[in-house]
Every structure is written in C-alpha cells, then in structure tokens.
Amino acid sequence: MDFGCGTGRDLEILAKRFDCVGVDLHPGLVDYAHRVRPGLDIRTGDMRTVRLRRHMDAVTCLGNSLAYLYDNDEISQAFTTFAVHARPDALLVLCSPVAPVIRPEPARAVVGTPEGPARVTIDYEWDLRTQVNTMHRRRVLASGVVAQDEIRRRVLFPRELEH
C-alpha cells in the first residue's frame, strides 16, 4: 500500500513483483496515473482518513508525501491509517525529511526549458516552532517572465518517527 503515491512512479516498479494499491489525495494526479500507468490500482483518498479494508505486508509513504501534513493530530491520523492497513510484522517505509535544509545563501542555477534557459534561485526558510521548512523557488524565464512557488514541508525528527 503506497500512501501519497502521486502519479504512481514507485508503484509501477513495486507492482512488477507485488500486489499493490496506491492512494493519493489529488484526483488530477490519480487520473493522470490511470492514463499513463493503466493497470495499476490507484485510488483517490486521504491518508489521514482512508480505510480500504486491505491489510498489506508493506506500507510505504515515499517522496516526502508525509511532509505535507503539518500538525501533530494529522500526522497521528496518518500513522493510524498506516497501522490499520498493515498486517502484523508489516514493513513501514517512509521517505520524509528528518532535518531542515538551511542554507546561508540562496542556491542559483540555470535550467533548460522549452523556451530557452531559465535562471532559478532557491531559498529555504526554517520555522523551529512549527518544524516547517519552506522552499521558495523563483525562475526568471528567457522571456523575462518571473514564475515563483513555494513548497512547505514538515520535518519529523527521528525520535518523532519512532513514536
């Protein structure tokens, strides 16, 4: 069972050897997964609340999906979901940040886009109280157009994960 499976990138590999189910919050990503990876069992659902009445030998939550839950109650709910879908002695595999990214200076790079090279600046912010690490990305496209976004990820320290 892969929670927060997105477009099914990892599920496609796992499903070659195992009976797998993927769950993601965003119907658009699930629709895309159905189109590009037909045959995979991918459903729309929220890892805080979904109940599939399936019990698996392994539960995964990869690619930082857990880091998009910010408060402790939501995180506890997700762990309850993982437990509810796990057989005794099941394996839980998480890929989630356990330390913030803190950089004294923004990282700068030039990346290729269909419209030509874009200059990218990446900056990080760390809020110790909320344990949220925010990545700010600013891209200046060849046309001069500026595109910005930010990604907020909740850091779970190792002791919290043990809990």
- Of 22 and 118, nearer to ligand SAM (C-beta) is 22
CB of 79 to ligand SAM, least distance (A): 12
Q: Given the rule CB under 6 A, which residues bind ligand SAM?
A: 3-6, 9-10, 23-26, 29, 46-48, 62-65, 68
CB of 74 to ligand SAM, least distance (A): 8
Neighbour count for residue 19 (Cβ, 10 Å): 11
CB of 28 to ligand SAM, least distance (A): 9
The Cα 65–Cα 45 span in angstroms is 13
- Of 118 and 154, nearer to ligand SAM (C-beta) is 154
- Of 12 and 118, nearer to ligand SAM (C-beta) is 12
The Cα 151–Cα 137 span in angstroms is 8
- Of 65 and 133, nearer to ligand SAM (C-beta) is 65
Residue, CB closest to ligand SAM: 63
CB of 122 to ligand SAM, least distance (A): 16
Q: Residue 47: exposed, middle, or buried by beta-carbon count in 10 A (0-12, 13-18, 19+)?
A: buried
The Cα 68–Cα 53 span in angstroms is 24
Closest CA to 97 of 124, 59, 57, 58: 124
